[in-house]
A and B are shown apart, each in its own frame.
Chain A
């Protein structure tokens, strides 16, 4: 089975801290994605990546950055955490354009910023 592993299930960080959320997939997927999930808003795309060292902004990139130095790993970075970034963060991966696949999701990281 394809696995997408998010390194932490729960995180509590302080306002102003730099926060790293890590995601690793083992299926050689080219595409990787970061979403945040909030009640009543569904999943909103933060950033995605088509390939190593490539990144594209999603719908809500403000306050976030990403890093993809290796194909299997996609990191989400909160440069200076704020309370409005308290949320569930979901990582996903997929094969590239033209392949009619859905995404494979990790179990999520619930981040609380205090």
Chain B
């Protein structure tokens, strides 16, 4: 089965600073990769996904992520964060031809003024 490790449980940053949220996965087969965001008291919302092709994928709200097959990583980045980016972020992996998705434990991003 596939698994996902988010390397940081909490990431505090100041407004307008760059941020990277780290995600590593393990799987014996090819996978799709996703990042979701959860704002307080809400469900999860899709930020971006990697399916195939270009390893750099762009998502909503200025986020992007890079798929690195050799390092089995899918780190999420934003060059300049806003207060409104404060939320919990989940990395997830779904195997080809498989229905269920596995999530990491989440990274709580706190943007300070």
A72 and B107 CA atoms in complex are apart in Å by 32
User: For the side of the interface on A, what is the size category?
Assistant: 20 to 34
B29-43 interface code vs A (CB 8 A; 1 in, 0 out): 000101010000111
A48-B90 in contact (CB<8A): no
Partner of A48, one of B34, B41, B46, B100: B100
Chain A residues whose CB sits within 8 angstroms of the CB of B90 once the complex forms: 42-43
B39 to chain A, nearest CB (A): 10
Residue of A nearest to B50 (CB): A100
A83 and B34 CA atoms in complex are apart in Å by 32
B49-A102 in contact (CB<8A): yes
B106-A42 in contact (CB<8A): yes
Partner of A97, one of B41, B51, B97, B104: B97
A98 and B99 CA atoms in complex are apart in Å by 8
B9-A103 in contact (CB<8A): no
Partner of B44, one of A31, A90, A94: A90
A107-B97 in contact (CB<8A): no
Q: A40-B105, A42-B105, A102-B34 are in contact. Are A108 and B49 (CB under 8 A)?
A: no
A90-B99 in contact (CB<8A): no
A49-64 interface code vs B (CB 8 A; 1 in, 0 out): 0100000101000000
B45-A105 in contact (CB<8A): yes
Chain A residues whose CB sits within 8 angstroms of the CB of B41 once the complex forms: 107-108
A4-33 interface code vs B (CB 8 A; 1 in, 0 out): 100000000000000000000000000101
A100-B100 in contact (CB<8A): no
A42 and B38 CA atoms in complex are apart in Å by 11
Chain A residues whose CB sits within 8 angstroms of the CB of B46 once the complex forms: 102-103
A103-B97 in contact (CB<8A): no
Partner of A58, one of B34, B97, B100, B105: B100
Partner of B99, one of A35, A42, A43, A97: A97
Chain B residues whose CB sits within 8 angstroms of the CB of A98 once the complex forms: 97
Q: A43-B90, A105-B45, A107-B42 are in contact. Are A100 and B102 (CB under 8 A)?
A: no
Please give the residue numbers on chain B whose beta carbons come within 8 Å of chain A beta carbons, in ascending order. 6, 9, 32, 34, 36, 41-46, 49, 51, 90, 92, 97-106
